[in-house]
Amino acid sequence: MRTYSAKPNELEKKWYVVDLQDVVLGRAATQIATILRGKHKPSFTPHVDCGDFVVVINAGKVHVTGKKLSDKIYFNHSQFPGGMKKTPLEERLEKNPERIIVDAVKRMLPKNRLGRALLKKLKVYATGEHPHQAQKPEALKLPY
């Protein structure tokens, strides 16, 4: 028996559409990260981009549990003294809901050039419309 290692030119990429209306943020992000990474395929190889493309729609209608809307805070720093900015989840969801999904998925991917390449295959839209009809994406129903 020999260990199979996938080659990048042998892999076929599929497109999936995920609707996040009334879906819990963290549970959806884990499923999206798994698909982007390719761990759902039997030909998964850790050092190769085996994953598929994911189009996320209705990012503005994502659901969070508990008091996270008011209690969860995102921190940014400008690298200048006193440059700390704190933004609650509720404000960020109103202003830029796509960024919440991207940040949640990004933190679940590897922190190297492979992770950055995987993140480019994630397309997030706040509404139910997306311009990727030509790729004929499959609708993906999340288990949660």
In a domain, 142, yes or no: no
Residue 19 lies in a domain: no
The answer as to whether 18 is a domain residue is no
> Residue 117: which domain range?
26-129
Q: Considering the domain boundaries, does residue 67 fall inside one?
A: yes
Domain count, the chain: 1
Q: Indicate which CATH number applies to the domain containing 63.
A: 3.90.1180.10
pLDDT at res. 87: 95
Tens digits of residue pLDDT in 70-106: 999 999 999 999 999 999 999 999 999 999 999 999 9
The DSSP annotation for the chain comes to -------GGG----EEEEE-TT-BHHHHHHHHHHHHHTTTSTT--TTS----EEEEE-GGG-B--TTHHHH-EEEEE-SSTT-EEEEEHHHHHHH-HHHHHHHHHHTTS-SSHHHHHHHTTEEE-SSS--S-GGG-PEEE----
Residue 11 placed within a domain:
no
Asked, for residue 35, whether it belongs to a domain, the answer is yes
Which pLDDT score, from 0 to 100, does residue 1 have?
83
Classify residue 97: in a domain, yes or no.
yes
74-83 pLDDT per residue, tens: 999 999 999 9
Please report the pLDDT score of residue 142 as a whole number: 87
Does 71 reside within a domain?
Answer: yes
